[in-house]
Structure 1
Amino acid sequence: MAVALILGVAIGLALGLLGGGGSIITVPVLVYAANVPAQSAVAMSLAIVGVTSIAGACMKWRQGLVHARASVLFSLTGIIGALAGGQLTPLVRPSVLLVIFAGLMLVIAGRMLWARKQEDVPAAAQCRPWRCASAGMGVGIMTGFLGVGGGFLIVPALMHFGRIPLKQAVGTSLVIIALNSLAGLVGHLGHGSVDWRLTGIFSLLALIGMFAGVQLSRKVSKEKLSRWFAWVVIAVAIFVLIRNRKVFSEPW
């Protein structure tokens, strides 16, 4: 459990530093370090990431690093998608859910390692309603289904579809992650038990990590951090796949 608590701080640290990423390790940490059932871990992950992202979003808002229009467009459709995605989780066996989750981890880590260096874009935002709303819906469904905030998808989507500068995209993503995560949690509440005490402990630790991450983000290269974090994500994904390897010899 001590390892799980240390990793709880790492969840917030990743969110504060990178505007995402904490949620991708939350479910494996809860399942394998805190012995939480997979479906319950998805719901708890949404609560932890949601609370932590709210704190980070407030800090970024005060710094003027949140784009209001993009937050609204992504969040409105993202909430609908998260509520729908939350209904899908109980339909999938826990082992299959974890394998899908590991696959997503590898995709995200691969993008972090081999994508071109993210360069800032002009501040003239062009968050067109249809494009931003569609992107928000897709991320929302993934959030509700797998318990991930989607920060590593939201940040590039904000930059690509909304032409929003990187630093502002990171702040805006925290607002969207918070709303999507809380909506996804609502979609999960009727499908399984949630250990609220453990959720509260992890949320507190993640908040500590979040505040530290926001401070460090001003001093550390985001590109280097992303690459180091990507290798951590790959290692966790391989571990999850090994633990659930029997799935590949069974009918899904």
Structure 2
Amino acid sequence: MSTALLVTLVLAIGIGLSLGLLGGGGTILAVPLLTYVAGMPPQEAIAASMFIIGVTALISVGAHARRGNVRWRMGLVFGAASMTGAFGGGVLGSQLPGVVLMVAFGAMMIATALAMVVDRRAPSEPKYRSKLPVLKIVMEGLVVGLVTGVVGAGGGFLVVPALVLLGGLPMSAAVGTSLLIISMKSFTGMAGYLTSVSIDWGPVLLITGVTVAGALLGSAVSSKVPDKMLKKAFGYMVLAMGVIVLLYELPILYGLTTGILIVITLILVKVLQRRRTGTDAPGTPPSAQEVGASQETALRGVPHERS
């Protein structure tokens, strides 16, 4: 076993943990791992990552289903639509140059990371809708499937918000249902790539086994890890990896400029968030001067009682 493959197997545990804990993020880590560590060409890395993530997600669905966290009807509708988009995206992606694919992949990583790091406050437990918004779910599934098919990313971190917003699912159910959808569209996206790309199945099957073990571990401890803290930490890691991919693929000037702009944007967003949070924070205790002034005003307004 080569050193590169051994390192890949060790790091593949993190891919499985991401899927088990967050319902996504596997492919966004798998493609750079297979490309830069395992040494696969970009097209083969994307196709192989779809197989690895598809198998891992399919096995993880069982663990989440036992906890009642899979909405089968919504997942099958979304998954069927995303399968169509993923196959078309896989056929298209297999014909694009490797540099184009990796630059697009780096941009997807950065967009995903920023969405995770930026704290958008939303209701924690939205009400589940008994009537499915089928048209919206189908359209979202087609778009997510197409993106996944082309660059091999954007699965769980696009699917989970869509399930929360369109289907009104709580986060626990959105994570479990997203794994069902990811497994469906990953296999069809891989099929699109296999029309013109071949895979070295020996290393891929080994990596898949390790990833599955990590996913089962992630599913087991998912209820014990603070979701907000985990997402932000993962988001910063993906952001750093996205910048590294762009620095590697683009000319140094363009790569550095992109990295600097991303950092500036992130700083500005965080500053604006803190100001908004400070302005809108309810129940802020008044200062000592404000308390004294209010008491003095109240005493002045109370008439003296006559003896």
TM-score interval, smaller chain: over 0.9
Task: State the partner residue of 2:28.
Answer: 24
Distance change in 2, residues 1:71/1:247 (3 Å): farther
Q: Among residues 154, 162, 167, which one is paired with 1:162 in the alignment?
A: 167
- Give the TM-score of the pair, scaled to structure 2: 0.78
8 Å CA contact 1:85, 1:141 repeated in 2:
yes
> Does 2:91 correspond to 1:90?
no
Counterpart-to-counterpart distance in 2, 1:117 and 1:52: 30
- AA aligned opposite 1:238: V
Q: Please list every run of 5 or more consecutive structure 2 residues that lacks an aligned counterpart in the other structure.
A: 255-307
- AA aligned opposite 2:186: S
Superposition deviation, residue 126 in structure 1: 4.4
Task: State the partner residue of 1:13.
Answer: 17
Superposition deviation, residue 26 in structure 1: 0.5
Q: Which consecutive segments of 4 or more residues in structure 1 shift more than 6 A?
A: none
Superposition deviation, residue 208 in structure 1: 0.8
Counterpart-to-counterpart distance in 2, 1:100 and 1:47: 20
Residue aligned with 1:82, SS:
helix
Superposition deviation, residue 143 in structure 1: 1.4
> Does 2:58 correspond to 1:54?
yes
Task: State the partner residue of 2:116.
Answer: 112
Deviations 1:82-104 (A, max 9, x none): 11001111232101110110000
Matching of residues 1-252 of structure 1 within 5 Å: 1=4, 2-118=6-122, 119-148=124-153, 150-246=155-251
8 Å CA contact 1:82, 1:180 repeated in 2:
yes
8 Å CA contact 1:125, 1:164 repeated in 2:
no
Q: Please list every run of 5 or more consecutive structure 1 residues that lacks an aligned counterpart in the other structure.
A: none
Which stretch shifts more, 141-150 or 71-80?
141-150
Residue aligned with 1:164, SS:
coil
What is the CA RMSD across the aligned residues, in angstroms? Answer: 1.5
Superposition deviation, residue 248 in structure 1: 8.5
Distance change in 2, residues 1:20/1:125 (3 Å): farther
8 Å CA contact 1:112, 1:227 repeated in 2:
yes
Count, aligned residues: 249
Counterpart-to-counterpart distance in 1, 2:126 and 2:27: 26
Residue aligned with 1:91, SS:
coil
Q: Percent identity?
A: 36
- Give the TM-score of the pair, scaled to structure 1: 0.95
- AA aligned opposite 2:237: V
Which stretch shifts more, 62-71 or 30-39?
62-71
- AA aligned opposite 2:236: W
8 Å CA contact 1:125, 1:163 repeated in 2:
no
